Copies of this chain bind each other. A is one copy, B any other.
Amino acid sequence: MSELLRDAGERRLIELVSSYFDCEEEDCAVVEIQGAQILISSDMLHQKTDFPAQMTPYQMGWSLVAVNLSDIAAMGAKPLYFLSALGLPSDFELESFKELISGIESCTSRFGVEVIGGDLDSHDEITLTGTVIGTPGDGKIVRRSGASIGDLVCVTGYLGSAGGGLRLLKEDENLDQTNPLVKALLEPFPRVEEGLILSNSGYVTSMTDISDGLLVSLSDLSRASGISFKIDEEKIPVYSDDLLEFAWSAGGDYELLFTVRREKIDELEELVDFTVIGSVVAKGAGDRLSPLGYDHFRGMRNSDFYASK
A117 touches B304 (CB 8 A): yes
CB neighbours of A309 from chain B (8 A): 116
CB neighbours of A305 from chain B (8 A): 117-118, 120
Interface size class of A (residues with CB under 8 A): 35 or more
A93 touches B2 (CB 8 A): yes
A4 touches B90 (CB 8 A): yes
Given the known inter-chain contacts A80-B33, A135-B33, please indicate yes or no for A4 contacting B92, CB distance below 8 A. yes
Q: A1-14: contact bitstring with B at CB < 8 Å (1 yes, 0 no)? A: 01111111010011
Question: This chain: how many copies in the complex?
Answer: 2
CB neighbours of A93 from chain B (8 A): 2-5
CA of A186 to CA of B81 in the docked complex: distance in angstroms? 33
CB neighbours of A44 from chain B (8 A): 85, 87, 119, 121, 123, 127, 129
A115 touches B36 (CB 8 A): no
B2 touches A94 (CB 8 A): yes
Closest 8 CB pairs of A and B: A117-B306, A34-B36, A29-B116, A122-B296, A36-B36, A6-B90, A116-B307, A44-B85
Residues of A within 8 A of B (CB): 2-8, 10, 13-14, 16-17, 20-21, 23, 26, 28-29, 31, 33-38, 40-44, 46, 48-49, 80-81, 83-85, 87-95, 97-98, 101, 105, 114-125, 127, 129, 131, 133, 135, 296-298, 302-307, 309
Q: Please give 13 more A-B residue pairs, beta carbons under 8 A apart, in addition to A44-B129, A48-B123.
A: A2-B93, A3-B93, A4-B90, A5-B97, A23-B115, A33-B36, A33-B38, A33-B133, A42-B131, A44-B121, A44-B123, A119-B304, A120-B296
